[in-house]
Chain A
Amino acid sequence: MKASLPKAMFAAAALCLALPLHAADLLAEVRARLASTPVTQGEFQQTRHLARIGKPLVSNGRFLLVRDLGVIWENVAPIAQTMRLTKNEILQTDGAGTSVRLSADREPVVGVISGILLGVLAGEFEALAQGFDHDGKVEGDKWRLDFRPRDAKLGRLIEAISLRGARDIEQVEIRSAAGDVTRIAFRAQTHAGEVSAETRKRFE
């Protein structure tokens, strides 16, 4: 009991502070809680609720996040496909090895999407906050962030993004403007301080 009293007080204080906590402060609070290693990898379970389609589509896979490089998102089951997100490009490869390369240079919207997804998955909230209004709260080492697009142009792509986590991002929900919803739960996340040559190669 003795040990938990200050903790409860801290939680209460955090709760009180949550409301007046502002823009940069909130994001900085969350950033401070997140692990800051350059490489994060782990597994995910992704559930998609497509608009007007009853059955949720559940996929499992693994991901690799390298700060300043991008994300490799690898669906393993039931369908094998990989998406590699970098700043200016989305490279999709299906199970048969056929690739589709979407370049921001040719299609402006690709840059926007890759920017948002990188912001979400890599925890680059400051970048995300430029196009979105945000809200959220911090409780102890747990936190929650909600993003809504600031302008109508972005609103045509995405309706809302929510994130929850502690040391790692644990859950993500992305609602597209069309009503398709993706929920992601992360597991077994590990961190590395060094970017191996092999890892770097996967982004080339």
Chain B
Amino acid sequence: MSNPGPSSGLARAHRLLAWFWLAFLLGAACFLLAGWQERLGRIDTDLLALLPRDERRPALEVALKALAERGERQLALLVSARDEAATHKAAAEVRAALDGLGLTEQGVGADFSGDFYFPYRQGLLTAADREWLATVTLDAATTRALNRAHALFTPGNVPWRSDPYGFFGDWLAALGEATPLRPIDGDLMVEHDGWHYAALIYGLPQSAFAADFQQKLLARLDTARDRLHAVEPRARFLRAGAVLHAAAAARQAENEMRLIGLGSLIGTFFLIGFVFQSARALTLIAVSLVSGAVVALLAGFLLFERVHAVTLIFGASLIGVAVDYAILVFAQHLGSQESVWERYRRLLPTLGMVLLTPALAYLALALTPFPGLKQMAVFAVCGIFGAWASVLCFYPYLLPAVLPLPDNAGLMARLLARWPRWRDTGRNRWLVVCLFAAVAGGWTQLRTDDDIRGLFSGDAALMAEHRQVSEILRLPSPAQMFLLNADTPETLLQNEEALIERLRPFVAANRIGGYEAVSRWLPSGEKQRRARALQARLQASRDRIGEELELPAGWDAASSSAEILTVDAWLASPASAPFRALWLGALPNGDGAAPRYASMVLLQNLADRDSADALAGLAETTAGVEWIDQTGAISALMARYRERLTAVLSLACLLVPLLLYPFFKGRVWLIVAPVLAAGAVALAIMGYLDIPLQLLSILALLLTLGMGVDYAIFLQARQTHAHTLLATTLAASLTLLSFGLLAFSGTPALHALGLTVTLGVALSWLLTPVFLRHERG
């Protein structure tokens, strides 16, 4: 640190601050590096994690969490070769390929053996048997039991004597409807559209979300697929699982971070090296960028349990913004003969002001209820602050005493002199009117699109595969479901049963493939008692059977077990394991109030939007039932926040001139006009190009406002426009580079953000010199 500062108190305090900041940065960097492997595992790639949760409804929160946990630890593979035998062989090969990864293959899910349900069988009747029992004659019932006794074979591990009429067998068999899977020759098979698939359903180990596990899994799956296709080109291999999306997202995030980060970095260093031709300038910029990254990462990992990959991609694009401070500081002092400390003192107020505007703009991101955007806001503000603070702390030491005026500045000056300026002439007025008409025309073409699926879609091919697997295996939809609640578990089960009665026509009409509900396995106490009462009417038939087969009196005593299956017993049994997640249990209900019980009913293969609407209508007329449509609800939320942020944006357009008025007085419109015009034209262009307006484009316009105002402040605040234009040109082109690269992101949300910012910044950079007072230059 060679720059000799004045031996004043300020310099000593500053030096102390600089040392402190350096120590903090080094400490933070060591901290981050030390736990890097662990932190990589905390990078979230689930796009749903970016979506808001409705805090006002704990039941929904618990339901979604339970669903997510159930889903994210499962991997489903479907294999099909030309015939059943080849399919079995293919399944065995895939199984071998995945050996050693710590996956546990899961069975069909339900416990069809009936061991657990056996003592409760008197209360368990299928709908068909209930109907049969309601009208049956004693003779017919007796015949049914005797026929079964004389049949070739009665399958299962329930002896005839314990289930003479076969009601319990029927009930167990009906559980099989819950899944289309059939255990055949050691594989779970499913037939769909004439193809025989073997289903391999795996539970993932604890380490499933570690990056290296994911990449290993993907590689093994690719090998398995290649091997399969080498033997049988027409073989099908379909994969579904949250882990695959996570792995794909991680891979994509890594690529994009590399593209955007490296692209921005190389561009930045190239441009700055070219313009300033100073190694010290590059050092300051490098230090400032690294500090920004360190502070942003530190804040991200300390404040959030998991940092989202999308945040990191977005963060990479901040390079172009963070570098602005250093550039603007250089530009102010090109060719200046003042000592570094004098320059520094004079620059402080402007530096303070330019931190504020983009930081405020990014904070607008935090106003939304979207966890992902909040994270991006924190990341951005901390990153910008880190870069800014490093410029503030290290610049007196890193900047050369004199920064020579580069040759390029002359070029800029000539360019600026030729730049079209606003003059109040009749021709220009007509031009403005035409421009207004063109912009207005564009605005009328603007349309909005708040569909969340368009915004956070994952890998398209994977999604298609996932949908196919879901359809074949009848996996329940994670986005649409019924949420039920009641005062007691018994009422809850009865409500479920009432709902399921009303779902039957939907199943029959193929509007849904089926449903998953706790009451399928655990009938309400009331329903069990009714079933027992129906069975009790068969006593005379039982006596007759006893006589016929010469059985001792009371032969059926064992079959009239007295027990009712309770929620607690069911939950405690391993038989309920695959479906326990559907039971949300007791949820706190405000202060001291009695808890409410909640459960969910999931739907398989929801046919279309109309069916979803019809189901929503069903919920309205069934007691204690609520229809949840997550995609719909979130899209509605997006729309609401888009409108709210549009209001914020309009308000900001009014407030910014008012806030800047004390500093610039009458010149304030020169600062605001270019960026407002840029925003208006950007919107018009989006209208003409049919790019829909959505929450993120409004946010992008807010960011543009923050950055555009910064350029104008710098340009207007200094007398030597050429230097500053050079700086703003540099700053704008670097921002353009970063956000332009962001526009190539595969995540539609980031793409929209990148595109709008690129458009807005480009326009405000082009327009700002137009509004410069033309007597200078």
Is A15 in the interface zone, CB < 8 Å from B? no
Q: Which of B320-348 contact A (CB under 8 A)?
A: none
Contacts of A112 in B (CB 8 A): 182-184
Q: Which of B157, B182, B186 contacts A108 (CB 8 A)?
A: B182
Q: Which of B158-166, B302-310, B422-430, B661-669 contacts A (4 or more CB under 8 A)?
A: B158-166
B152 contacts A46, CB within 8 Å? yes
Is A32 in the interface zone, CB < 8 Å from B? no
| A-B interface pairs (CB < 8 A), number | 117
A158 contacts B155, CB within 8 Å? yes
Is B205 in the interface zone, CB < 8 Å from A? no
B149 contacts A50, CB within 8 Å? yes
Report the separation of the CA atoms of residues A53 and B155 in the bound assembly, to the nearest whole angstrom. Answer: 17
Q: Which of A16-24, A33-41, A178-186, A191-199 contacts B (4 or more CB under 8 A)?
A: A178-186
- Are A131 and B186 CB-contacts (below 8 A) given A94-B143, A157-B157? yes
Is A113 in the interface zone, CB < 8 Å from B? yes
Report the separation of the CA atoms of residues A83 and B153 in the bound assembly, to the nearest whole angstrom. Answer: 10
B173 contacts A48, CB within 8 Å? no
Q: Which of B155, B161, B174, B181 contacts A51 (CB 8 A)?
A: B161
A111 contacts B184, CB within 8 Å? yes
- Are A182 and B160 CB-contacts (below 8 A) given A54-B550, A106-B176, A150-B186? no
Residue of A nearest to B555 (CB): A53
B186 contacts A130, CB within 8 Å? yes
Is A104 in the interface zone, CB < 8 Å from B? yes
Is B551 in the interface zone, CB < 8 Å from A? yes
Report the separation of the CA atoms of residues A105 and B184 in the bound assembly, to the nearest whole angstrom. Answer: 13
Report the separation of the CA atoms of residues A182 and B149 in the bound assembly, to the nearest whole angstrom. Answer: 10
A108 contacts B176, CB within 8 Å? yes
- Are A113 and B155 CB-contacts (below 8 A) given A151-B186, A156-B112? yes
Contacts of B555 in A (CB 8 A): 53
Report the separation of the CA atoms of residues A180 and B155 in the bound assembly, to the nearest whole angstrom. Answer: 9
Residue of A nearest to B152 (CB): A73
Report the separation of the CA atoms of residues A156 and B146 in the bound assembly, to the nearest whole angstrom. Answer: 23
Please give the distance in Å from B611's CB to the nearest CB on chain A: 22
Report the separation of the CA atoms of residues A163 and B156 in the bound assembly, to the nearest whole angstrom. Answer: 21
Against B, the Cβ 8 Å flags (1 = close, 0 = not) of A148-175 are: 0011011011100000000000000010
Please give the distance in Å from A202's CB to the nearest CB on chain B: 17
Report the separation of the CA atoms of residues A184 and B186 in the bound assembly, to the nearest whole angstrom. Answer: 28
Provide the main secondary structure of the chain B interface. Answer: loop
Q: Which of A2-10, A74-82, A136-144 contacts B (4 or more CB under 8 A)?
A: A74-82
Is B776 in the interface zone, CB < 8 Å from A? no
B157 contacts A79, CB within 8 Å? no
B152 contacts A55, CB within 8 Å? no
Against A, the Cβ 8 Å flags (1 = close, 0 = not) of B50-88 are: 000000000000000000000000000000000000000
Is A201 in the interface zone, CB < 8 Å from B? no
Please give the distance in Å from A182's CB to the nearest CB on chain B: 6
Is B185 in the interface zone, CB < 8 Å from A? yes
- Are A57 and B149 CB-contacts (below 8 A) given A51-B159, A106-B176, A111-B182? yes
Is B593 in the interface zone, CB < 8 Å from A? no
Q: Which of A106, A109, A153 contacts B107 (CB 8 A)?
A: A153
Is B104 in the interface zone, CB < 8 Å from A? no
- Are A156 and B157 CB-contacts (below 8 A) given A81-B147, A94-B147? yes
Contacts of B149 in A (CB 8 A): 48, 50, 57
Interface residues of B, Cβ cutoff 8 Å to A:
107-108, 112-113, 143-144, 146-147, 149-162, 173-174, 176-177, 179, 181-186, 191, 549-551, 555
The 6 closest A-B pairs by CB, nearest first: A108-B182, A177-B157, A51-B159, A178-B159, A130-B185, A107-B173
Interface residues of A, Cβ cutoff 8 Å to B:
46, 48, 50-55, 57, 59, 73, 75, 78-79, 81, 83, 92, 94-96, 102, 104-113, 115, 117, 130-131, 150-151, 153-154, 156-158, 174, 176-180, 182, 184
